[in-house]
Amino acid sequence: MSSMAWVRRLRVNPLPCLASSAGVALGYFVKRDLLGEDPGPIGSLWERPEVERILKKQREDGSWKYPGRRRRAYENENYDLLQTYRMLGVLVEQYGLDRRHPAIRHAAGYLVLHQTAEGDIRGIFGAQYAPHYTAGIMELLIKAGYEEDSRIDRGFEWFLSNRQEDGGWAWPLRTANVRYEDAVGRLRPVQTDNSRPFSHALTGFVLRAFAAHPAYRKSAEARVAGQRLKTRFFKPDKYPDRRAVHYWTKFQFPFWWANILTALDSLSLIGFSSDDADIQNGLEWFVSNQEADGLWPTSRGKGKKAEAVRLWVGLAVCRVFKRFHS
C-alpha cells in the first residue's frame, strides 16, 4: 500500500494546510512523520526561541513553578509537579527534546523524586493516588528515552497490580465514593474498589503510557484495556469526571485528557486494525467532521493559541490515519 494511501481516506487533503504553516517545529514533524522527508537533526528545534523561553523558567531542582496566584486549599497539594509535567509535554511533544538535553534530565529527576515505593507518582493530590498523571508523566519520560529505566518498570507494575476486575482503570476516589475535598488532606491514600467498572476517561489516559512503550504496548493487559476502551467510544463515562459525551471530541495538544483522538492514537500503536468496527466508528468521526481546509474543530474557541492547537491536533490526526491506513 502506498505510504500516502491514508490521505485518500479523508474528504480533504490536510497536507497543504499543515505544510504551509509558519510553525518551524510543526513543519519539522510534518516532513518527518507525514511526508517521509528528512528534516535534519531534531536538535535544530532545541535552539528555538520558544524553547529558550520555557527553559529560562526551569528551576534548579528541575521543576517549573505553577503559574498565577492559585490558593491551595490543602498544604500537601503540589501543583509545581503538575506544571512540570505540562512543560515536559511541550518540550518533548512539540520540540522533540529527549534525555540528551540537560533540561529533560533535570525535569525527569524532579518527577521521579515523587515516585512512591508502590511505583506511582504522587503529590499533585497530596497523598492520594493520581493514576492519570502518573501515566501521563510515564508516557513523556518514555518518549524522552527512559523506556529502559527501572523506575518506568515500577510504574507499569503498579498499574498492572491496580486494575479494575474488568481490565480497565478507574480513579480510586470515585470507586470508593469519596469526595476529593474529604480525601486530599488525609495522610494515606484511599484504596480502589476493584469490583467497580472501569472509567474510559482514566483508562484512555493510562493506555497512553502502555502505547508509548515498545514492550508494554504488546502486553495482553494493554490489549484487554484497549478492547474495553473502544467499546465506550462516544458514550458517557461511568463516573462524574468528564462524564459527558462531548468530551470525546474536545482536543488538546500536547495530549491531556482522553478523547477519541488520544484513544485512536494509543490503539493504533497497540496494534488494533482499521477493520475493527469500533475503530472504523472512531475514524469515521474525523472523516465526517473534517473542515474545508482539511483540519478539524478542537472546541477551543478562536485566536492564535487556539489555531496553533488546531494545527498540532491536525498533525496528530494525520499520524493516526497514516498508522491505520498505510
CA atoms of 164 and 238, how far apart (whole Å): 13
Nearest to 76 by CA among 114, 112, 107, 108: 114
Q: What is the mean pLDDT of residues 72-100?
A: 92
Which tens digit of pLDDT belongs to each residue from 272-314?
Answer: 999 999 999 999 999 999 999 999 999 877 788 899 999 999 9
Q: Predicted confidence band at 73 (pLDDT cuts at 50, 70, 90)?
A: low
pLDDT at 75 over 90: no
> Looking at residue 326, what is its pLDDT?
82
Q: What is the mean pLDDT of residues 68-84?
A: 79
pLDDT at 112 over 90: yes
Q: Predicted confidence band at 72 (pLDDT cuts at 50, 70, 90)?
A: low
pLDDT at 69 over 60: no
Amino acid (one-letter) located at 30: V
CA atoms of 210 and 204, how far apart (whole Å): 10
Q: What is the mean pLDDT of residues 128-144?
A: 98
Where are the alpha helices (H) located in the chain, listed in sequence order?
A: 15-19, 24-29, 43-46, 49-55, 79-95, 102-112, 131-141, 150-160, 172-175, 180-183, 200-212, 220-230, 260-270, 277-288, 304-325
Which tens digit of pLDDT belongs to each residue from 234-251?
Answer: 999 999 999 999 999 999
Q: What is the mean pLDDT of the chain?
A: 95
Q: 50-59 long-range CB contacts below 8 Å, 24 or more apart? A: 50/25, 50/95, 51/91, 51/95, 51/97, 54/87, 54/90, 54/91, 55/103, 57/87, 58/87, 58/103, 58/106, 58/107
> Looking at residue 71, what is its pLDDT?
54
Q: What is the mean pLDDT of residues 135-164?
A: 98
- Whether 17 contacts 310, CB under 8 Å: no
Q: Based on the number of CB atoms within 10 Å of its own CB, is 215 exposed (0-12), middle (13-18) or buried (19 or more)?
A: exposed
> Looking at residue 21, what is its pLDDT?
84
CA atoms of 137 and 142, how far apart (whole Å): 9
Nearest to 96 by CA among 23, 52, 44: 44
Which tens digit of pLDDT belongs to each residue from 30-66?
Answer: 999 999 999 999 999 999 999 999 999 999 999 999 9
List C-alpha distances in Å: 247 to 82, 131, 256, 258.
Answer: 21, 19, 12, 8
> Looking at residue 2, what is its pLDDT?
61
> Looking at residue 70, what is its pLDDT?
56
Full-model pTM: 0.96
